[in-house]
A and B are shown apart, each in its own frame.
Chain A
Amino acid sequence: MEDLSQDRPRPRLDADSDRYWSAAASGILLLQRCAACETPRFYPRLLCPACHSDEHRWEAATGRGSVYSFSVVHRAPSPALQAETPYVVALVDLDDGVRMFASIWSPPDAIRIGSRVSVAFRRLGDELALPGFELDQTGAPS
């Protein structure tokens, strides 16, 4: 796992998300699925947004998906992140049925809407890792 620069907003582990982050630290993308109506959801939370049940289970995601949209940041929100520009933020539609906001750690010019991507993890300090995505070898839209 590569390291990310430390000077960025850090996720704050809480009762909704600590399992998600502890799985990410060991390189696993964990999603919640409603135990009542089977709808997968992201981000993790107490109630199913589809049926409002508070019963859920955690499942490892395929981590594969396609790019719904992306943007290349040239003007960063902090001086520390400015050093990393240009970088890509994206919305990725996972094959698992949820949409995630994340980085795509691939050259911006190679990315298209519809490009196939797979999850990757980068360490953020000793305790945390951030899931993001990398273009699949071909990167071709499916």
Chain B
Amino acid sequence: MSLRNAVAITGVGSSRIGVVHDRTGLGLAAEAAKNAVADAGISWDEIDGLLTAYSMSERYFMLGSVMCEYLGITPKFAASMVVGGASPGVMVNHAAMAIASGECSTVLIVIGENRRTGLTTDEAVAALTTVGHPNFENPYGPTLPALYGLVARRHMYEFGTTPEQLASVAVNTRYHASLNPSAQMRELITVEDVLESRYIADPLHLLDCCLISDAAGAIIVTRAERADDMATPPVFVRGIAEHHTHEHVSMATDLVRSGAEVSSRAAYAMAGVSPAEFDLALLYDCFTVVPLIEMEDLGLVGRGEAGAFFQDGHAKLGGRLPVNTHGGMLSHAHAGASGGLFDIIEACSQLRGDCGERQVRDAELAVVHVEGGVLSSHCTLVLANSR
């Protein structure tokens, strides 16, 4: 059974974003969920499925069950899923499978945490280091930026990608954030600003790295047939696919070609689309090098061409393929697995024409790609505002 157009996203919601002192992580999640439920125009008791991810600031053992308890719902389908940044894509896939099989009909996907105020910076850096192998990587003292620094240096080596090109990803993304009232960082930056910011893990500077935020997002996923009766214009999941290759960076066979190539082709085949058809792309951007590899793996540009694509302004609003129009994790928000959920939410908002100053004109078809670990787990979504 194909999941093509089996489900639609009929509600989206976000919490306040940035430094939010008066919310716990669960409180942020609840705020986003309440906004998504209101946006969908449904009642809470229509939700019969819930999926969430994990929290590094509030380490509940069974976060899915805790989330149901905190929200006051008792669904028949619930879980917490830990696939790093890929979690929200994987959760949409699982929600689609559960809905298509008849197990449930309306799934709330909600992810967020107070990673900015609930952890010190030292604690956040230490928590993220758990992505590394405890015995065969972490004794050498890597950080998550250092693991992605390996990726960046290899991309530079193989394709001649320059520090300026990496920086242009951050500059482009910040420009989009400047048009988004809810983004955490809105002040425009230049390539020089990025290159003059201190090294975190050479070749990655501070401004090559995503933010640490308090933030939560939520979406409502329901059966496509039901979507036509909902309060808001539906966004159909036309294609979706995962691919998982490893977890630890030392086990990746290649650092400049990832499982995104496989997941994207499977999602395109399900959707019946080609990469030239997309009106915009939302690409997981924990570090500036990642959207470059994703663009190349997804076939949106040729191998080694993504750096120049950003540098020449083609990824900017009004350009050939606008990328991360909300400001991405580099400038909008990054609170763990919710980063990729904001990519999905932005795609929905664009396809609904709700984006005001940063609206991509006549946006009908979007591609979203999320990845977790170090290019380890992948999910590609093809989203459209018609079947």
Chain A positions within 8 Å of B, measured between CB atoms, are 8-12, 14, 17, 42-43, 68-79, 81, 84, 86-87, 89-91, 99-103, 108, 113, 124, 130, 132
Chain B positions within 8 Å of A, measured between CB atoms, are 122, 125-126, 129, 133-143, 145-147, 149-154, 157, 198-204, 248-251, 255
Q: What CA separation (Å) do A99 and B152 show in the bound complex?
A: 18
A84 → chain B, closest Cβ, in Å?
7
* Given the contacts A9-B139, A78-B122, A68 and B154 also touching, CB distance less than 8 Å: yes
A residues less than 8 Å from B248 (CB atoms) = 101
- Cβ–Cβ contact B250 & A100, under 8 A: yes
Q: What CA separation (Å) do A89 and B144 show in the bound complex?
A: 12
- Apart from the given pairs A71-B203, A73-B141, A113-B154, 19 other A-B contacts in the complex at a CB distance below 8 Å: A8-B139, A9-B138, A9-B139, A12-B135, A43-B135, A70-B153, A71-B142, A71-B149, A71-B202, A72-B199, A74-B200, A77-B138, A86-B199, A87-B141, A89-B140, A90-B150, A99-B250, A103-B140, A124-B139
Q: What CA separation (Å) do A108 and B153 show in the bound complex?
A: 13
- Cβ–Cβ contact B201 & A101, under 8 A: no
Q: Which residue of A lies closest to B199 (CB)?
A: A74
Q: Which residue of A lies closest to B148 (CB)?
A: A71
Q: What CA separation (Å) do A90 and B143 show in the bound complex?
A: 12
Contact of A77 among B126, B153, B154, B249 (CB under 8 A): B126
The 6 closest A-B pairs by CB, nearest first: A71-B149, A72-B202, A101-B250, A69-B154, A11-B135, A9-B138
Q: Is the interface of B mostly helix, strand, loop or mixed?
A: helix
- Cβ–Cβ contact B150 & A77, under 8 A: no
Q: Which residue of A lies closest to B203 (CB)?
A: A71
- Cβ–Cβ contact B140 & A78, under 8 A: no
Contact of A79 among B122, B140, B150, B153 (CB under 8 A): B122
A residues less than 8 Å from B251 (CB atoms) = 99
Q: What CA separation (Å) do A86 and B198 show in the bound complex?
A: 12
Q: What CA separation (Å) do A40 and B201 show in the bound complex?
A: 31
Contact of A69 among B135, B141, B255 (CB under 8 A): B255
